[in-house]
Amino acid sequence: MPFFPAFILANAGEAAHVPLVLLLVFGTAKVFAEICERFGQPGIVGEILAGVLLGPSILNWVQPDQILIALAEMGAMFLLFRVGLEVRASELFRVGKTALLVAVLGVALPFFAGWIVLAMEGAGRIEAVFVGAAMVATSVGITAQVLASKGWLEHRASKIILAAAVIDDVLGLLVLAFVSNLAKGHVDVLGLTATAVLACGFTLIIAKFGTRAFQRVVPEIERNVSTKEAQFNLALILLFGLSLLAVYVGVAAIIGAFLAGMAFSETADRRVQDLAHGTSELLVPFFLAGIGLRLNISDFASGSIIVISVILLIAAALTKLIGCGLGALTLGRGDALRVGVGMIPRGEVGMVVAQIGLSMGVIPGPIYAVVVFMAIGTTLIAPPLLNYAYRNCAPRAAEEDFTLA
């Protein structure tokens, strides 16, 4: 008889398949998270490794089907919503100038590094710029999970990371739009300008006026609604609504989710925070394990692919560390290191860019595998590096002076 779980999966009926896969992914992720915690590593490393174990790389028991993809996307949205609930918009605006410099340097250096590495390996111009674009955007969900779980969200460096990641996402969108146009043979300047205005306008308006608006609206709605959990229901409507709007204006849904949480941050009661935390505890493991599920070790049979993968991984980590760290250097070496490390993970963001390039026919399969390796590698090394960078920081420490920002 085949190994027991594989035998069950192969013989499970349609009705049993979904709960069985959910059990495998969630259960394995939590077991691996506990093992990592016992060895002093962040639990999210274990949850990503659980996906690697269950996926095509090792056991090949689970494939990222539509159900798991949907759960992963919801997990990322609820994670960023929960983080947003703990952040005040005014605090992000206070670090806005530093965050802008961090984001710009953290986009420029990785983009040109990815381009140069692929060009030196003999890749074509379009292929090289697409890889550069895949190295641009930070996957803030990974860093946010570590910061939230360790109680470090109140530190100045954490505020800069979150603000820079939002700006980073907008800049990454513009880079992706540019290279996509380049691949089609022309650059639509008017379209790029419209996308930039929409993305920046949406982000600034929600961040600036969202909290103020909901401080007025939520109490009024609560007085006129008799449904239980009215405030949480309203929060969910806001979460899904802003996530949808974010996609329509061109930025990631998780940015809309983060802005929704931030808009609700000064209105939400303890009950809303507890429910959001519980929901994210259920869904986030699917987001993290989903990253690991996308890795297939068999794609790295060629020695040259392994060499390119390692070089690109090192370049991806160093360019974010150096670029973003330089942007925050006026805050001191400690905060510069924290910001640089916090911006390293690419996660699902880098893979989405690579998938677009693959679907357009400008990135071949082996290079797609290289980008996936880079995205997952940066995601795995970031949590231990964050532990080191924040080693002298007390959980939920009082905020430092922001005058330098």
Residue 249 has a pLDDT of 85
Is there a contact between 260 and 238 (Cβ–Cβ < 8 Å)?
A: yes
Q: What is the pTM of this model?
A: 0.81
Is there a contact between 157 and 331 (Cβ–Cβ < 8 Å)?
A: yes
Residue 178 has a pLDDT of 83
Per-block mean pLDDT, blocks of 10 residues, the chain (405 long): 57 74 95 90 87 90 89 91 86 88 94 93 86 87 86 91 88 83 76 82 88 84 81 93 89 87 88 92 92 83 88 96 95 95 84 77 84 88 92 64 39
Name the 3-class secondary structure at 238.
helix
> What is the secondary structure of 283-321 as a DSSP string?
HHHHHHHHHHHT--GGGG-SHHHHHHHHHHHHHHHHHHH
Name the 3-class secondary structure at 269.
coil
Q: Which tokens go with 169?
A: 């996402």
Is there a contact between 370 and 316 (Cβ–Cβ < 8 Å)?
A: no
Residue 399 has a pLDDT of 42
Is there a contact between 316 and 114 (Cβ–Cβ < 8 Å)?
A: yes
Distance CA 395, CA 390 (A): 10
Residue 50 has a pLDDT of 94
For domain 67-389, the CATH class is mainly alpha
Domain residue spans of the chain: 67-389
Residue 405 has a pLDDT of 39
Residue 1 has a pLDDT of 43
Mark out the alpha helices in 294-392 (DSSP H runs).
303-327, 333-342, 347-359, 365-389
Is there a contact between 250 and 169 (Cβ–Cβ < 8 Å)?
A: no
